[in-house]
Structure formats: structure tokens, C-alpha cells
Amino acid sequence: MSEQQFKQIHDFNEILTRPNFIESAVISKQEDGIKLKELVAHYQLKERVKCGIAQCGTKHLMGYVVTLSNGKEIIIGNKCGKNNFGVDFTNKEREFKSQRERAEQHQFIKDTFTKLPELKQTFENVLLQSGPLTFIDIQKAVKGFNGEAFDYWMLQVIRSRVSSNGVITEERFKTEEEREIEEIFNEGMNKSYVSDTKIVTVAVIEHFDIVANWHKAEKLKAYFEKIHREIRDPAGMPNDVFKNLVKDLRLYDHNLRELKEFCTYGNRLLTKENLSKLSVLFNKSDELKKLNGFIESISQRIKGVL
């Protein structure tokens, strides 16, 4: 069969225009009677159509186009051959489905190969134009958070005081009014102990999770660089390479959205206003100088773009 024959039919007109198609035939088990011979296509329609087996006549939404022993073609329901004449197309449909999927995958790779220049450009745009900072700019800044911009003790403070989602808290003494309110509340709960301190949120660094998860962005970038090298015309492609490429391509759109989010949120993380919130963690002049130097280096890159 050709690649075209393997596609699933959704338009009844495609069946009606087949050169050997007839609407109905009397199928017989007699030696000289007309018999179901071979499955040649699969149909699934929105409206029911009458079965081509004259003795059946039931209307079906899905089934097969089959050839007859006299060379003609009819449509039957997906269970009609087995139920009425003991003809089971299960193995044939399994083979048909496998071949049809292969043909669809072949076309999928071929279409993707045709669009490769456009895909590469979209990928480059994500890296370079998701904000004033490029992927490489964000990568350098993240490395700063991981040791290049701050000394050991500043890093320990950041790692211990800033949560994975960017919340900075500190312990503070409660006011007398707060203690009195808590004591009254505890009386109703049969509790007597009232702590002297409370935990309060002093700042929230937006999109701080980018720092911990940036390795995922680097993996996504590597995925696109690899797959852009591997995409080619599928004709003659080894089976294992073909299967792996199809599997990887299924993730393409999803991975591109994720990479775009990393670049977009990375830009939001690295604004001067957002990073300046880290100053609540430090009170020594040399520490604040390092922090401000780090923030200013990023601001200069942004100004260079704008």
C-alpha cells in the first residue's frame, strides 16, 4: 500500500470516489459466492453510513473499507465481518494501524524538516528576545548567585534566608498588644504558653526559583541544539533513529514554551527593583557593596540593550 492509503478516512466522499467502490454486495460463504478479502482502509465519520454488506444494512460510524473477492470495494462496520462471516481483521488492522502511524510519523518528520529554518529562528528569538537580557545574560547572573558574585558567607546567608520561592523571613519580638491578644485567644483554647517572637515576611524575591531550576533551562537549550542537528529528510532513516526522533519531536512545542518561560521569568527576576530586596539580608558595607555591584552589572547589560 502507498502512504496515502494508510491514513484514516474521515470524509465519506473519499470513499465514494474510490474507483472500485460499490454501496452494497451480497456476501456469501458459498464456494462461488462473493467474499470479504482484505482490509484496505479504516474510516471514522461524524455521521453513520450504511454497511456495505447487504445482509447487514446497519449504519456505522466507524469500520473498514474492504476489497471483495471480485475486486470491488465496500464499507463494513468494525465488527461486521467477524460477527456475520467469521472474518477477523484484528491482525490486519493491527498491521494497518502500525503502517498508518509510520506513514503519519514519516510525514511529520518531513514537514518538520521543511520548517527547520523557521524553527531555528523561533528558537533563537526565544534565547535573544524574551526580554532585555538574553539566555546567556541570565545564565551568567545565575552563576553569580551560585558563587561568582558573592563571598562564601553571603552565599550562606542567601541560601539559608531565602526560600526556594523567594520569601525572606525573620524572627521579631511581638508587641505587648500582640501578646495580649494571643493570651486571650489561648485561654479559649486551654493553652497558656505565648512565645515572645514571631516570624514575619520582610521581602519576596519574584521568580527566585529560576536560580535553583536554571539547570533545567540549560537542558532545554541542549535539547533544541541536538534536535536541530538531527532533523533531516526521513527517507532511508534507520528505524531506531526514526523512532527516537519522533519521540523527541513530540516534546518540541512543550519544551519551547518551557524555555520561553525560563527566559521571560529570568528577566523578571533580574530587575534592579526585584534584586534590591536582597539588601534586607545584609548590613555590612562591604556586603552591600558586593550586592549593589552585582545588581549594577546586570542593570548595565539591560541599559546596553535599551
Tens of pLDDT along 242-265?
999 999 999 999 999 999 999 999
Beta bridge partners of 42: 64
> Does 301 lie in the same domain as 152?
yes
Q: Is residue 199 part of a domain?
A: no
pLDDT of residue 126: 97
Percent of the chain at pLDDT exceeding 90: 58
Q: Are residues 81 and 122 in the same domain?
A: no
Residue 79: predicted pLDDT: 76
| 219 and 288 assigned to the same domain | yes
Q: 89 and 121 share a domain?
A: no
**Contacts (Cβ under 8 Å, ≥6 apart) of 37:** 66, 67, 68, 69
- Looking at the structure, do residues 71 and 121 belong to the same domain, yes or no? no
- Compute the average pLDDT of residues 198-206: 92
Answer yes or no: are the C-beta atoms of 71 and 40 closer than 8 Å: no
Cα(211)–Cα(166) distance, integer angstroms: 10
Stated pTM of the model? 0.72
The tens digit of pLDDT for each residue in 223-233 reads: 999 999 999 99
Q: What pLDDT score does 102 carry?
A: 87
Q: What b-and-e string marks burial along 65-80, b requiring 16 or more CB atoms within 10 Å of the CB?
A: bbbbeeebbbbbbbeb
Question: Cell 502500525 appears where?
Answer: 98
33 assigned to some structural domain: yes
- 26 & 58 share domain: yes
What is the arithmetic mean of pLDDT over 50-60?
A: 88
Q: How far apart are CA 207 and CA 268, in angstroms?
A: 7
End-to-end CA separation in angstroms for the chain: 59
Statement to judge: residues 89 and 120 lie in one domain? no
CA distance 114 to 231: 10
Q: Which helix (H) or strand (E) holds 262?
A: helix 252-269
38/266: higher pLDDT: 266
Measure the CA–CA gap between 30 and 43, rounded to whole angstroms.
28
Residue 23 in this model has a pLDDT that exceeds 80: yes
pLDDT band at residue 189 using 50, 70 and 90 as cut-offs: low
Average pLDDT of the chain, as a whole number: 87
46: left (phi over 0), alpha (psi -120 to 50) or beta: alpha
Whether residues 121 and 215 fall in one domain: yes
Phi, psi angles (nearest 5°) of residue 69: -65, -20
Query: What ranges make up the beta strands (E) of the chain?
Result: 36-50, 59-68, 73-77, 167-173, 197-204
Residues 215 and 146 in one domain: yes
Residue 1 confidence (pLDDT): 40
Does 214 map to a domain?
Answer: yes
Question: What is the reported pLDDT for 4?
Answer: 43
Q: How far is CA 65 from the centre of its chain?
A: 36
By percentage, how much of the chain surpasses pLDDT 70? Answer: 91
Q: Grid coordinates representing 104?
A: 503519519
Which structural domain range is residue 136 located in? 116-166+205-231+250-305
Is 149 contained in some domain?
Answer: yes
CA distance 110 to 234: 6
Label residues 175-199 b or e (16+ Cβ within 10 Å = b). eeeeeeebeeeeeeeeeeeeeeeee
Query: Is residue 173, in this structure, part of any structural domain at all?
Result: no
